[in-house]
Structure 1
Amino acid sequence: MRISSLLGALGAAGMLLLAVGTATAANRHVDIVNKTGMSIKHFYASTTGTDDWEEDILGRDVIENGETFDINIDDGSGACRYDFKAVFENGQSLVRNNINVCQISTFTYTR
């Protein structure tokens, strides 16, 4: 009888760990949609509250007007809230703060 109780408790603990692991493994892929009339040459995402934009996520890619680009925002920190910065072909930039990438799957830049 004690072995079955122990196995039941271990099973319940395992299910709890699985649920916690699933919550922290939220999908952080976001489709960035460009509806600005200009090309996005550089795109940055950093956890909200930091002052460093890190590297350009696009690298050599460009998001042309009317295009959608899938970006994996996950930086390994487990964070859900990020600031986005898009830099356009004319050098101007748009910053959008406090985007919850665990709750959205698409973010659209418009002018």
Structure 2
Amino acid sequence: MRNFGKYLIALAATCGLAAITGPAMADDLEFTLTNATSVSATEFYVSPANVDDWESNLLDGKYLPAGNEVTVTIGDGRRTCTYDLKTVFEDGRTAQNDGVDLCQTGKYTVHE
């Protein structure tokens, strides 16, 4: 029964992220975020490569469990494909990847 509870939390986290990002518009950028690590991601930031600060935490109180994926929609109205990505994990470690062309790949996988 304990594993079932984790599944519900994972599902809620996935649904929550999709709800946070809102409905897709013509200029929105959509990609699949996969957590290929052994720990849950507790924060995920996406900022255009030419912006000096991190924008909002897309997980915002939720988390993406290890081995799970979710569809992310960036509806910021910008016409850019190149983003800097930062993931913070429940154990405090971070992973950052700058200059990712999300239009070309359509996906982003976080690795340890």
Q: Which residue of 2 aligns with 1:62?
A: 63
Q: TM-score, normalised by structure 1?
A: 0.72
RMSD value, Cα: 1.4
Alignment check: 8 A CA contact 1:27 1:102 kept: no
8 Å CA contact retained: 2:27, 2:75: no
What is the total number of aligned residue pairs between the two structures? Answer: 87
Counting aligned pairs with the same residue, the percent is: 31
Unpaired runs of at least 5, structure 1: 1-24
Using the size of structure 2 for normalisation, the TM-score is 0.71
**Cα distance, 1:103 vs. partner?**
1.2
Gaps of 5+ in 2: 1-25
In structure 1, the residue matched to 2:96 is 95
Instruction: Kindly state the Cα deviation for residue 99 of structure 1 after the two structures are TM-superposed.
Output: 0.9
Alpha-carbon separation, structure 2, partners of 1:104 and 1:76: 19
Structure 1 residue runs of 4 or more that deviate by more than 3 Å after TM superposition = none
Distance (whole Å) between structure 2 residues aligned to residue 102 and residue 90 of structure 1: 30
Q: Structure 2: how far apart are the matches of 1:27 and 1:102?
A: 10
- The one-letter amino acid of 1:62's match is Y
Counterpart mapping for 1:14-93 below 5 A? 25=26, 28-93=29-94
Is the 2:86–2:94 contact (alpha carbons within 8 Å) kept by the matching residues of 1?
A: yes
Mapped contact 2:102–2:108 kept (Cα < 8 A): no
Instruction: Tell which structure's C-alpha radius of gyration is larger.
Output: 1
SS in 1 for 2:105: coil
Mapped to 2, the partners of 1:51 and 1:70 lie a distance apart of 25
